Amino acid sequence: MTNSKLQEIKNRFEIIGNSPLLDRALETAVKVAPTDMNVLIIGESGVGKENFSKIIHSLSRRKHNGFIAINCGAIPAGTIDSELFGHEKGAFTSASDSRKGYFETVNGGTIFLDEIGELPFETQSRLLRVLESGEFLKVGSSKVQKTDVRLVAATNKDLLELTQKNKFREDLYYRLSTVNIKIPPLRERQEDIPFLWAKFSSDVADKYHVPPLSLTRDALHRIQEFRWPGNIRQLKNFVEQISILETDRNIDENAIMRYLPESKGNSLTFSGATSEQSGGINEREILYKFLFDFKRDLSDIKDLLLRMNNGTAPTPSQQASNLPTRIIEQAAYPPAIIRDEIIPMKQYHPQEEESYDEGEIVEHNTLESLSLTNKEKELIERALNKHRGKRRLAAQDLGISERTLYRKIKEYNLEEE
């Protein structure tokens, strides 16, 4: 497909972006549209799966017939058979009249079943019969009816994995996935974020009669590195929120940081690892590794504090290069790391008379007057003064992320300094 043809389709259906992964998905949708093949659209929530189903229908020979989009997860399990296939009068308590289902009313057209992984197992059997023979039965009827409907399904789950757990019919999966179209998440098409921002900002400006937003370079970098778990839908809501609440129309990094939500993908607190990331390591092994690293790092930072107290400590840049990043970010607050995500851990109190393993804790009397919190605040103040308030350079000097530095500045009330 030529670039001009692809761009024409993007303009027609308001598809924003030039990511190669997005273009590949669009090309597949355009090629399969004129056929009657079943299509399975795969993608996370908010990537625009319904838009792709409309593209397929609009470019097919069924475009002049009906199209209906159904969210399988939004219909109660007890009524979904009636919604899809209809029912006869008296089929159940509230069935006072006969009713046509979607497969009857959209005959000759296209049905889009979103979140098909939520479909009840019994309904999956009925759907399989429709796909194989075009036949279905209304609820409460023994009369076989025929329908000619093209099915486009979508899911944000791994249907093949659900088949292994006996939560989705394997034969239905292979019947649905004649052609698979995978829509990339927003984090895999970061180059499209500036265009999406401009589009959403312009739409909000027209709708609410406000000037459109512009982004500084740092602000753009910040939203591009965010993972956007809600994808395009989340970004659109984010732009609308800032457009209404912010007075300054030139959005800088500080403004972005005030509105970006905390998420597991961007949080710097320890939360373990997924099975894929850990390569099969179980939670206990992860915990042991974390505690071992923490014990080692705590010893290192206490040694650093001793040298700072004696006036022999290295500069902040030397500290960042000599110590692991997690020392600066985590060691000053060990209870907070452990408290939220793993298990309670006994805190160290210098005034208590207890015995410790060799090498675990430095001498109590030496550290009794030291405050990790004060030392961390002092390091941050030095770095900010050195770089004249430029947070990116200060964060690099300290060996921590800008997000962590921003949080610490708020915590220590250093914004005015």
**Region of poorest pLDDT, from 55-64, 72-81, 136-145, 278-287:** 278-287
What pLDDT is stored for residue 200 in this prediction?
94
Output DSSP code: residue 188.
G
With cut-offs at 50, 70 and 90, classify the pLDDT of residue 315.
low
pLDDT exceeds 80 at position 297? no
The pair of structure tokens assigned to 149 is 């409907």
H-type alpha helices, 310-416: 316-322, 325-326, 334-341, 364-367, 372-386, 391-398, 402-411
| This prediction's pTM | 0.62
CA quadruple 275, 281, 282, 288: dihedral sign? negative
Domains of the chain by range and CATH?
3-184 (3.40.50.300), 187-259 (1.10.8.60), 281-411 (no CATH)
Band (311; pLDDT cuts 50, 70, 90): low
More confident residue, 120 or 262: 120
Q: How many CB atoms lie within 10 A of CB 169?
A: 19
pLDDT tops 60 at residue 265: no
What mean pLDDT do residues 386-406 have? 81
Q: What does the mean pLDDT of the chain come to?
A: 79
Q: Which of 65, 72, 78, 134 is nearest to 105 (CA)?
A: 65
Q: What is the pLDDT of residues 199-255, one digit of tens each?
A: 999 999 999 999 999 999 999 999 999 999 999 999 999 999 999 999 899 999 999
pLDDT of residue 400: 81
Residue 23's closest CA among 31, 38, 326? 31
Q: Each residue of 73-93: pLDDT tens digit? A: 899 888 899 999 998 887 777
* CA proximity to 102, closest of 144, 170, 150, 64: 150
pLDDT at 1: 76
Task: Return the structure tokens found at 30.
Answer: 């355009």
Nearest to 391 by CA among 254, 268, 260: 254
- Report the DSSP pairing between strands 144-146 and 150-155: unpaired
Tokens for 291, please give them: 């505690």
Closest CA to 136 of 149, 152, 153: 149
Q: What is the mean pLDDT of residues 54-78?
A: 93
Torsion angles phi and psi, residue 169, rounded to 5: -70, 130
